[in-house]
Each structure stands twice: as C-alpha cells, then as structure tokens.
Amino acid sequence: MSGGQYGRFGGQYVPEALMPAIDELTDAYQRYVLENEAGFMDDLAERLETFGGRPTPLQYADQLSDRYDIDVYLKREDLLHGGAHKLNNALGQVLLARYMGKERIIAETGAGQHGTATTMACAHLGMPCEVYMGRRDVNRQRPNVFRMRLNGASVTPVDIGRGTLKEAISETMRDWAGSVETTHYVIGSVVGPHPYPDLVREFQSVIGSEARDQCLEKLGELPDAVVACAGGGSNAMGTYDAFLEDESVDLYAVEAGGDSLEIDREAGVAPNSATLSTGTEGVLHGSRTKVLQDDDGQIMESHSVSSGLDYAGVGPELAHLAEEGRLAATPVDDEAALAAFHRLSQLEGIIPALETAHAFGFLEERGDDLGDTAVITVSGRGDKDLESVIEESFKRDLPEAPDLSLFTTDQGGR
C-alpha cells in the first residue's frame, strides 16, 4: 500500500515510468518541506513575503456583516501577487524543483491563475516553463494567457474533449511521462497522486494558519464558520488545515453547481462540477477520490461558469473530510455565483474571481445560520473574468448586474 491515504481516498495511481520521480518528490517533500532541510521553508517564507506580499490581511467586511447580521471576515488571498492563492503553492513547488535540481517546469491550468502563478514563480527563479491549458479555457481566460506569455512561458492549448482542466491535467501528465527525468510537474491543486495532495496542502496551509492567528488576535476567539470555494480544493484545504482540530469551527466547501445538478448519463455530461455533493468513488489523475462519472466508470465532462472550478474530480483529503462529516459541501449554481460577483463588487469594493464568487453565493443563501462569526477566503480577484462576467450577465439579464449597455454594441456575438 502506498502512502498518502485519507481514509479510503488517495493513493498513487500513475504509470510506472512516473513512479521513480514521485518517490523522489516524496523524499524531497519530507526533507525540504517537513524538515526544513537547507533552510528551504525559510527561503520560501522570505520569498512569499518579499515577492508575494504575505501575510495577507484578514479584513472585516462592514457591508456584508450588516447584510447578514453576522461578523464576516475576509481572508484576502486576492491581494497575493498574481491575484490568487495559487502563488503559495506554485512558488513553493518551483522552489522545491530548484532545490531538487530539476531543469524545467510544466503545469496545467484551468482559470489560468495557477498557470500565471507558476510562470511568475518560474521567471522569478529562472526556470523554463510550459503550461497546458484547455482550448475552451484559453478562450474564456484570455488575460491570463497574455500574462503567462508575458512572463516568458509557453502556453500549449489542449484540444481534446471539452478543452477544460481535466484535459489539461491529462496532457500535462503525458508531457511528464516523456520528460520526467529533468522536469517537475507543478500540479495546481490538492489533487493527483501522493505526495501532491499533501504537498500542495502544506504550501497552502499558510492561508489558514495566518487566518487563525489573525482571528485570535482580532477577535480573541475562533470563528464559528470557515468558508471557501472548492474546485480541486487547494484554497479550501489550505484554509481548513489549521482549523481541523477546532471542533467548534464549522467548515464549508462551496462547489460549482453549474447549470443544474441533474446529470445526463447518456451524453456523459454533468452540467456542474459539484464533485463532493454528487460524485461517486473512482480513480482519476492518480488518486482515488470522488469523481463525476457514468455507470461504466467513464469520467464525465463537467461544467461551471468558472474555469477554475470546472473539474470532474476533487482532492482526496476533501473527499475524506466530507465523508467523515468534518466539512459540509454545498453547491452554488452559475447564476447565484454571478449575482454574488456583482454583490461583492458593489458592497465591498472587491471584484472577486468567479471561483471565489461561489463562496459568497453560499453566504447569501446561508448567511443567517453560520453562527456569529464567519471567515471567508477570497481566493482570487476577478480581473481575469471581466469579459466572461459581462457576457454571462448580459445573457441572463441579471438584476444584480450594473447597466452594461455601454458594452453591448459589439456584444452577444463573440
């Protein structure tokens, strides 16, 4: 039995050719990350501070607190360099690759935030980088494609399937199968074979450990609820990790409900990405976890208005915590997320990523039964999403959206 088990979930379901590299990574994780060999973690902390801008603030949200009649605190990962929590992991892994003597970096990306963070880390550390991105995501996250190119990375579109995150991960694994001797694969969430779910959680756990300290400092106590959106689950696991032992703290994972929770098994399409809420046990991309699949074990095409949540799998540790009842998973659909995007922009002056907006859609639905204090992770900012949001809001005639007629002259067609 391999390491990296979370109850029934986890494991190492990857081709033999990759196993030696995975063993090497497991060893490097143990030494550099867990034991701080060669001062690795100190080096990383210093870079996260000076290059990344850590620590990020825990902000009291006046308007939201008024609206829901609870104290709402925002953990502002959108203020991290690159505009999302993704840099915590990307910088950690690229630095680790350098300590391991690797020469090249590859990564997949959905929303382009992980890709952007990785290319920034690679430029910062002088490593060549290639990012795989589904064709559909290339089209709906263009600003991030430009950012990656500006950082000097190559971006390779993936045309297979629906052209989203699932296909991008598969294609990056194929690159790695050929380049494994010199190349490190920087996976972007708490998914994949062991040790990735552990490694990524460890790098992201800075979110929760800061937030927990900030709570104790500001409030003198722990919050009643901690909320994060979950695609693969890295900002969620990173936020929860410090709170796992605090039994009084309820943990909420907000998934993409997409268009609908109904699944079209015939067509092999799940019009959502609510893997924890509706998925079944299976093996995808190296680990045993909850996945969206049909009765034959074929992985379904998922959907979400937000590229970063549009994935048919989820981290194995989240699957385990959900099954144990330690966290509650709830879907929020496309429309509620878009409405929350506008609400947060108007009420708090924070334009969130569409992924993040799901967490605020949840707050709108459940704000009145989360206790007295809630911490919500603002996993990223929404600059990358402006085009999609304008288009999607216009299409739906969203009452929360501002008057967008200014933009409609050449809209609707693209």
Partner 1 sequence: MGVDAIRAAFEDGAAFIPYLAAGDPGGDLSNSTPESAMAATADYVSALVDAGADVVELGLPFSEPIADGPTIQSATVRALQAGMTPPRYLELVESLDVDVPIVAMTYYNPIYRYGERDGVGPFVEAAAAAGVDGLIIPDLPVEESAPLERACREHDVALIFIAAPTTREDRLRAIMQRGTGYLYVQARLGTTGASRSVSDQTKHTLDRIAAYEASERHARLPKAVGFGISTGEQAATVVGAGADGVIVGSALVDIVAEGEDVVASLEELGRELKAGARAGFDRRTQ
Ligand X SMILES: Cc1ncc(COP(=O)(O)O)c(C=O)c1O
Q: Which residues participate in catalysis according to the annotation?
A: 86, 108, 379
Least Å distance, CB 279 to ligand X, is 14
Closer residue to partner 1 (CB): 189 or 373: 189
CA distance 28 to 1: 20
Which of residues 93, 164, 235, 277 is near ligand X by CB under 6 A? 235
**Binding residue for ligand X (CB under 6 A) from 118, 172, 234, 289?**
234
Give the H/E segment covering residue 99: helix 86-99
Q: What is the C-alpha separation between 6 and 193, in angstroms, rounded? A: 12
**DSSP, residue by residue, 329-350:** EEEEEHHHHHHHHHHHHHHHS-
Residue 371 touches which of partner 1, ligand X, none (CB < 5 to 8 A by kind)?
none
- Told to check if 150 binds partner 1 by CB under 8 A, we report no
The residues near 150 (Cβ < 8 Å, ≥ 6 apart) are none
Task: Count Cβ atoms within 10 A of the Cβ of residue 12 and give its class: 0-12 exposed, 13-18 middle, 19 or more buried.
Answer: buried
Residue 180 or 230: which CB sits closer to ligand X?
230
Contact 116, 86 (CB under 8 A): yes
Contact of 215 with 75, CB cutoff 8 Å: no
**From 27-35, 267-275, 349-357, 406-414, span contacting ligand X (CB under 6 A):** 349-357
Q: Could you tell me how many residues of this chain bind partner 1 (CB under 8 A)?
A: 38
Which of partner 1, ligand X, none does residue 234 bind to, with CB < 5 to 8 Å depending on kind? ligand X
Two structure tokens written together for 53: 């801008």
Q: Binding to partner 1 (CB under 8 A): which residues in 6-45?
A: 11-21
CB 143 to ligand X: min, Å:
12
Q: Which residues pair with 158 in a beta bridge?
A: 134
Site string for ligand X, 1-20 (x = CB under 6 A): --------------------
Q: Of 216-224, 269-277, 286-294, 343-351, which part binds partner 1 (CB under 8 A)?
A: 286-294
- Selection from 302, 58, 277 nearest residue 161 by Cα: 302
Encoded tokens for 66: 């008024």
Residue showing tokens 């910088």: 91
* Cα→Cα distances 20→25, 98, 273, 298, Å: 9, 18, 32, 28
Residue placing its CB nearer to ligand X in the complex, 122 or 180: 122
Shortest Å, Cβ 279 to partner 1: 12
Q: According to CB under 8 A, which one of 33, 90, 121, 180 is a site residue for partner 1?
A: 180
Residues that bind partner 1 (CB under 8 A): 1-2, 11-21, 160-161, 166, 170, 173-174, 177-181, 268, 281-286, 291, 293, 295-299
Residues that bind ligand X (CB under 6 A): 84, 110-111, 113-114, 189, 229-236, 308-309, 353, 355-356, 379-380
